[in-house]
Chain A
């Protein structure tokens, strides 16, 4: 008998307490703004963080709480906080630690929104970042400054698809007493549980594979509970008295969930990026089938890699599971089930051929999302990464001819038939 429930079982059950009044099997949607206090003593206890429970939806909600506990369970984290989007998750996680004058070491090969936040928005508040090649451990270490508070990267870079050696980076982090934050959107905990390799914080856009159906925007910050915030005086937001909550010391009182508690007490209250209960419900529905969907995403991806690699109109194909990929060894180490379901490739004929391909596929949807159950397609240089400069495009591994596919779970033969239509239209440019 196993000591703990398995990943698949937790995907269906974790966090949910059965409704004792009506016996609802599905998690009810608590569509309410606020919660009636049983008495004044209970009310004051809730406000003073003396007991768990809900006060107001901006801070927490029972349906959202189930999602939070489910994601914490799947990642092996001590606590999590759900927010309105993946970008909210990144913002809340970073600002729980960094203040004016602080510094972040960040991967240059990340989602354009992450890059923009660090390059354009946070510097306006006196927070700076150094962007590094996530595959270059020496470069990462040499970018650390006296005022660095965190190292941040994606396990699978978007859209360059390089794999970060998080175990090696976590050793650098330990040496310099810095937390490692990983955006795990592309891998999901089904493919890799990054805390097991030394990550301390994980953020997700739940909108993508976790939810998996393209219905709801949402994000989450997961606290690994595995970082000693009190080892030195580098993290005052967690180890010094926080005046708005009667001088609470998060590290002293909440230990392994100190970081998540700070986010709920500060960011959710003062900034308010709350997730709607309806979105939490839909995301929970998606997570119930995460294992099943990911297996199909991966098997379809492998079939399409074979198809694209042998196609005479394809100039190159990029996926970490390909033997010739620079990150193939790391992909096998961290994601033995498969390194995600994003493929990038170049169509012979450059930008015009790419445009013709995208405009003539029908099953694959041309849109700015990834991780849907349906196959999605986009040209990153003119869309998701269009607002970053040429140097940053190169650093992110993006070329003018790059097409990004988020492989769905349709019958793979139908996806190939659809792509054949695109290639026929692109042929005149090749």
Chain B
């Protein structure tokens, strides 16, 4: 669906069911350079089980008008504007990588409607190494290769996957390759974000952290620091066989964890 916000078009896929503000919302926020299709193995599941679903394209990404936003804080404000515009209530936010930083900031700034926060493959800060940042600015193809190569674990590199015939690695490459300018701006925003520790500590909603055992993008030390910074009630799971692109690489385990958590913290039919 397209949403008009500040005279610009915002795109969000809705998992095959129309958005209904009366239903609780599962809001998916993608990572650097990606888009709504990243959540294809999760969005449809919730949409057909009583939830409204929004997988938003961040500004400038794929179907949403630009320009890209320059900071994580601006992104969180923008997401809040989108959900306010459409009258969303009872929100379960699910973020991956950069989307986690946005989710942390969103949940700490706008706690009223956020019922649960699911954070996948992230720390509370994600400093980006200078080689990757320079490449993203000056040699997007090199940065793209590194992002995809480091982003996927062994299963991705061997073209394994749960959807018959699908190559998640090349699919990811095509999506990220379609947003080359946004990749640099996203990585810069991630690199500059320093407020995550404080923001994580302020979250009132129930939190879930799902980490990847083969994550080359976010060091274990960093993701465990996020686990420490979140409220003590947070749930933590590590999927050891997955790389950073966990929702694609281990979709069934990831969906089962999201399902149990969101069904419990933000049930439908209230």
| Residues of A near any B CB (own CB < 8 A) | 3-5, 10, 13-17, 45, 48-54, 60-62, 64-65, 68-70, 72-73, 76-82, 225-226, 230, 246-249, 252-257, 260, 264
Contact A226-B174, Cβ < 8 Å, known A49-B44, A51-B255, A255-B37: yes
Instruction: Determine if B175 is an interface residue (Cβ-Cβ < 8 Å).
Output: yes
Instruction: Determine if B16 is an interface residue (Cβ-Cβ < 8 Å).
Output: yes
B-chain residues with CB within 8 Å of residue A68 when the two chains form the complex: 164-165
A-chain residues with CB within 8 Å of residue B251 when the two chains form the complex: 51-52
User: Which of B43, B48, B167 lies in contact with A69, CB distance below 8 A?
Assistant: B167
User: Which of A51, A72, A230, A264 lies in contact with B170, CB distance below 8 A?
Assistant: A72
Complex contact B174–A51 (CB within 8 A): no
Identify 26 residue pairs between A and B in the complex whose beta-carbon atoms are under 8 Å apart, listed by A's number.
Answer: A3-B148, A4-B145, A4-B157, A5-B157, A15-B159, A17-B155, A50-B45, A50-B48, A52-B166, A53-B162, A54-B164, A61-B164, A73-B159, A78-B170, A78-B174, A79-B166, A80-B165, A230-B63, A246-B48, A252-B13, A255-B36, A255-B37, A255-B62, A255-B174, A256-B170, A264-B164
Complex contact A51–B13 (CB within 8 A): no
Contact A48-B40, Cβ < 8 Å, known A65-B165, A79-B171, A225-B170: no
Interface residues of B in 2-35 (CB under 8 A from A): 13, 15-16, 35
Complex: A58 Cα to B170 Cα, angstroms: 25
B-chain residues with CB within 8 Å of residue A10 when the two chains form the complex: 159
4 extra A-B contacts, CB within 8 A, seeds A78-B166, A256-B174: A51-B255, A53-B162, A60-B164, A260-B166
User: Which of B158, B162, B252 lies in contact with A5, CB distance below 8 A?
Assistant: B158
The 3 closest A-B pairs by CB, nearest first: A255-B37, A52-B162, A52-B163
Instruction: Determine if B191 is an interface residue (Cβ-Cβ < 8 Å).
Output: no
Complex contact B161–A52 (CB within 8 A): yes
Complex contact A257–B166 (CB within 8 A): yes
> Could you say which of B15, B157, B255 has the most chain A C-beta atoms within 10 Å of its C-beta?
B157
Give the number of chain B interface residues (Cβ < 8 Å).
Answer: 38
B-chain residues with CB within 8 Å of residue A77 when the two chains form the complex: 167, 170
Instruction: Determine if B240 is an interface residue (Cβ-Cβ < 8 Å).
Output: no
A-chain residues with CB within 8 Å of residue B16 when the two chains form the complex: 246-249, 253
A-chain residues with CB within 8 Å of residue B128 when the two chains form the complex: none
Complex: A230 Cα to B175 Cα, angstroms: 14
Interface residues of B in 53-105 (CB under 8 A from A): 62-63
User: Which of B160, B165, B171 lies in contact with A256, CB distance below 8 A?
Assistant: B171
A-chain residues with CB within 8 Å of residue B165 when the two chains form the complex: 60, 65, 68-69, 72, 79-82, 260, 264
B142 and chain A: residue at smallest CB distance = A3
Contact A52-B41, Cβ < 8 Å, known A69-B165, A260-B165: yes
Complex: A226 Cα to B171 Cα, angstroms: 9
Complex contact B162–A14 (CB within 8 A): no
Contact A45-B149, Cβ < 8 Å, known A72-B167, A78-B167: no
Complex: A50 Cα to B164 Cα, angstroms: 13
A-chain residues with CB within 8 Å of residue B149 when the two chains form the complex: 3-4
Complex: A258 Cα to B155 Cα, angstroms: 22
Contact A69-B255, Cβ < 8 Å, known A60-B164, A246-B16, A255-B171: no
Contact A16-B158, Cβ < 8 Å, known A68-B165, A81-B165, A253-B37: yes
Contact A254-B40, Cβ < 8 Å, known A246-B16, A260-B166: yes
A260 and chain B: residue at smallest CB distance = B165
Complex contact A65–B44 (CB within 8 A): no
Determine how close the nearest CB of chain A comes to the CB of B225; give it in whole angstroms. Answer: 28
A-chain residues with CB within 8 Å of residue B169 when the two chains form the complex: 4
A-chain residues with CB within 8 Å of residue B161 when the two chains form the complex: 52, 69
A-chain residues with CB within 8 Å of residue B62 when the two chains form the complex: 255
Complex contact A51–B171 (CB within 8 A): no
Determine how close the nearest CB of chain A comes to the CB of B257; give it in whole angstroms. Answer: 14
User: Which of A48, A79, A82 lies in contact with B167, CB distance below 8 A?
Assistant: A79
Complex contact B162–A51 (CB within 8 A): yes
Complex: A53 Cα to B251 Cα, angstroms: 11
Complex contact A69–B159 (CB within 8 A): yes
Determine how close the nearest CB of chain B comes to the CB of A63; give it in whole angstroms. Answer: 10
Determine how close the nearest CB of chain B comes to the CB of A360; give it in whole angstroms. Answer: 45
Complex contact A257–B171 (CB within 8 A): yes
A-chain residues with CB within 8 Å of residue B158 when the two chains form the complex: 5, 13-17
Contact A48-B37, Cβ < 8 Å, known A17-B160, A72-B166, A257-B166: no
B-chain residues with CB within 8 Å of residue A45 when the two chains form the complex: 45
